[in-house]
Amino acid sequence: MPNAGAPQPPFPPKPQPPRPPTAAPALHDPSPPPPSSPPGGRGGEEWPAREAALLARIREQGVADRAAWGELLVHHQDRLYAVCLRMVGREAAADLTQDAMVKILQGLEGYDGRSQLSTWMIRIAMNACLSWLRGQKLRRHKGLGGYEEDSVRGLGTEGTGGELSAGMGVQRNERQIAVSASLTELPDDQRAILILRDVQGLDYEQVGAVLEIAVGTVKSRLFRARLALRELVEERLGTSGRVGEGGNEQS
Amino acid sequence: MTERTIQHILVTTGLTEAELAELLEGGAVGAEREAALRVTLVRHPEVAKFFAGVRTDRAAMRVLDQSVRAPAGLLEAVEIRIDQEALRTLTEPATSGMIPVGAAVTRIERRNPIAVLVEQVWVRRMATAAGLALAIGVGAWGTFVGIQNWPRGGGLPTDGGAGTIARNDPADVPDGAAPDTNLGEMTIAAAEASRAPYTALAMVSPAEGPGIAADGTVFSEAELVSLASAGRLAIVISGDTRAIPGRIDRLASQGRGFGVASVSQETVGASMSPLAAAMTREAGIPRSEWAGALRDPWSARGGGAGISTSRRFMSISAGADAASLHSVLAACGVLGEGSGVPGRTVRIIVLDEAVESPVATDAMSVLWWSASPAKWARTTTVPVVIEE
């Protein structure tokens, strides 16, 4: 703790409520925890049991039980699509989500239950996206053409009339636009880890399971990714002095 | 916020990047280290700004995709892909379950050389030509064999076939006896070959399987298949025919080479004119002269005028083999469960002259040559007449 002669810390002790906007940032993030259930999915306490029952049906009857795998995928499709959308952009997101779903169905018999099913599904979707991105970069490197990075970067302009915003029905503020656009400029691995942790709300273990890295590595990479994102956001907003103002500045 | 600043924070606080990440999210790293960080935040305003900025970035990211919805039709597309994958698994068992590989990996497939050959256009053309030549050859052979074996003249059987082969013996049927339409028990032949322009009329005995010609010659299934292949076999159903169209439709819906096509009156008068002529002549034959003096099922209709006024022509396509013909006969009420219905008679007419009945068209009947040669099979069509 600071001594008596030192200036008082600009943040309150942990138990205290957040400081007014003029105060320095709090050490701990007071914002609510990330979503624990898939966006758009039917969360609730009864879902795990339902999911287990569906899994059992699929394992017994394979993909012939279309009702079972249909219900399972409907529950997870929004989240899988969101991951792909953030990773590869709108043009390729639907196709890659479709690829991922096919692989999920083909691999369900091999799902060992060591991680949550949703984590396992996101891992497949994320791997599909990263493979696709690698392939596209290789094609561009060889002069064979490849995806337009603008298709990904376009996600950052939704606030200025882009389709995404209209489709989402969400009014975005300047910061959200800047963050969204900056995400697309990050290297793939940094974008992936931020999407998993901060956008999708996976915990460290789940992020590690998806990216197949240790939890400690997840944390250090997260820190680096946040640092990189921060710089990009500051550049985009052009108000580096403004960014940190107000620890409770909310989007 | 530079790399140098970060390093400074790490050194002065003794924190690691992982611990900083935890602290940013409210995790605990120990009181001492937290205190050191607090001091650092006070002494380095840019670090404090960084922390605040990260928090706002996280808040912005948290709500970024909460309203994202998967596009409509995604699951339907997945279902189609699953079906395609299943089909691919059936046709390429060696490669089933393979996961698409990256660009740096080359998948080497060992393919069947015959399959490679079949994919060549010229090979297909040659195979088509060979198939046609084969079909013509077999057809000619079948016609030849049919003609050679065809019974002409002669009497009814007099040997030990009694009990299975009907005899043209008036004594078998008492005068005034009601017609016995139980086809399960009887085999009947009609019309002398010398009198009828067509060679014979025959019926099939459910008990024995083969058909019996007017002269008592027993037709084996192989011979019937040969006649059908030559276009010289027709089936005429009369009386209680209500169940017949449904049975034929069910047969056609099985696939496996079966199909049914309706026949227009124009076709009957043209390519199927031999059949129409045969039936006209058949109508002129006095029933008493049919071998049906032996429990003649038609006698109840009186004399030789027992031809109905409404006829429906159709053409059943089937494989040119005994099993397929057996199925056709069963669908027409000659054999099996649907046979022996009181009030229904079924005649199998063997024609002198081949008729060209329409072929039921479906994808496989047109694109048969595109299938594996192992699946190529000859087909035949049997004209069927339902008299109502």
Cβ atoms A39, A85 nearer than 8 A: no
Count CA atoms closer than 13 A to B298's CA, side-chain side.
28
Q: Which two tokens stand for residue B153?
A: 């003249």
| DSSP letter, residue B102 | P
Q: From the centroid of its chain, how far is CA B68?
A: 45
Q: What is the model's pTM?
A: 0.46
Contacts of B38 in chain A (CB under 8 A): 1-2, 9, 11, 27
Check A25 against B58: CB less than 8 A apart: no
Q: Which residue has the tokens 């000659």?
A: B334
Closest chain B C-alpha to A230 CA, distance in angstroms: 6
What is the predicted pLDDT for the residue at A87?
93
Check A233 against B71: CB less than 8 A apart: no
Comparing A173-182, B217-226, B242-251, the range with the smallest average pLDDT is B217-226
Q: Counting every residue, how long is chain A?
A: 251
The most confident of A222-236, B189-203, B256-270, B355-369, by mean pLDDT: A222-236
A64 touches B: beta carbon within 8 Å: no
Q: Are strands B233-239 and B379-387 parallel, antiparallel or unpaired?
A: parallel
Instruction: Indicate the SS3 state at residue B242.
Output: coil
B337 touches A: beta carbon within 8 Å: no
> In terms of pLDDT, which residue wins out, A82 or B345?
A82
Check B68 against A168: CB less than 8 A apart: yes
Residue B193, pLDDT above cutoff 90: no
Q: What is the spatial distance between Cα B26 and Cα A135, in angstroms, rounded to a whole number? A: 38
User: From the list B17, B51, B60, which residue is nearest A179 (CB)?
Assistant: B60
Contacts of B40 in chain A (CB under 8 A): none
pLDDT per position in chain A (251 positions), as tens? 434 444 443 333 333 333 333 333 455 555 554 444 444 444 555 888 888 888 888 888 877 788 888 899 999 999 999 999 999 988 889 999 999 999 998 888 778 888 889 999 999 999 999 999 998 888 777 665 545 554 555 554 443 333 343 334 444 678 888 898 899 999 999 999 999 999 999 999 999 999 999 999 998 899 899 989 999 998 888 754 443 443 333 33
A33 touches B: beta carbon within 8 Å: no
| DSSP letter, residue A197 | I
Q: What is the spatial distance between Cα A186 and Cα A159, in angstroms, rounded to a whole number? A: 19
Q: Which two tokens stand for residue A147?
A: 């995806």
Cβ atoms B184, B208 nearer than 8 A: no
Closest chain A C-alpha to B20 CA, distance in angstroms: 7
The alpha helices in chain B, defined as continuous H runs, are: 3-13, 17-24, 31-43, 45-62, 74-91, 113-119, 121-149, 221-229, 244-253, 265-269, 273-284, 322-331, 363-366
Q: Which two tokens stand for residue B39?
A: 């001091």
Q: What is the spatial distance between Cα A104 and Cα A127, in angstroms, rounded to a whole number? A: 12
- Predicted ipTM of the assembly: 0.71
> What is the per-residue burial (b if ≥16 Cβ within 10 Å, else e) of B206-240?
beebbbbbbbbbbbebebbbbbbbbbbbbbbbbbe
> What is the per-residue burial (b if ≥16 Cβ within 10 Å, else e) of B161-171?
beeebbbbeee
Cβ atoms B238, B349 nearer than 8 A: no
